[in-house]
Amino acid sequence: MHVLSELLTPERTVCRASGSSKKRLFETLAKVVSDDNPSLAEADIFAQLIARERLGSTGLGAGIAIPHCRIARCSEPIGCLVTLEEPIDFDAPDDLPVDILFVLLVPEEAHQTHLDILARIARLFSQSRFCEALRSAPDDGSLFKLATQWDN
């Protein structure tokens, strides 16, 4: 099964969001995830994403970032896909701003699962055709469909 179809919901897929900074964007991402998963507190998601980002940028390069963390009360791995209206600085290794983010939240005890899913996501987002298709999506529904049905 396609990794993103296992992690995403239409409610956690946002096309052309606005975000002026990492902090503001993390606030938005935390709200999107919490709204779709009421058992996960928005403040906890935000705090964990910020704490992880302080360890080092989750920007991969080529305009892609994969913020990720383990979180209490998360019963299974979940994702949130966001494209940005305007790219933002993310301290990526290639110094390019980020315009596609995939947030991954996993249960606190899911150490190896976390790493395995991250590797699968990173491989997918390293495909330039996939990323260009996401960037061209006109709305949330199209973005969700592209992301979950991509056939590489």
Contact 71, 49 (CB under 8 A): no
Token pair 């209490």 in the structure block, residue:
72
Residue 118 corresponds to which amino acid?
Answer: L
Contacts of 136 (CB under 8 A, 6+ apart): none
Angstrom CA distances, 137 to 18, 93, 143, 152, stand at: 15, 26, 5, 17
Instruction: Give CA–CA dist 134/62, Å, rounded.
Output: 13
Q: Is 2 a catalytic residue?
A: no
Q: Spot the catalytic one: 2, 68, 111, 114.
A: 68
Spatial CA neighbour of 122 closest among 89, 93, 142: 93
- For the annotated catalytic residues, the residue numbers are 68
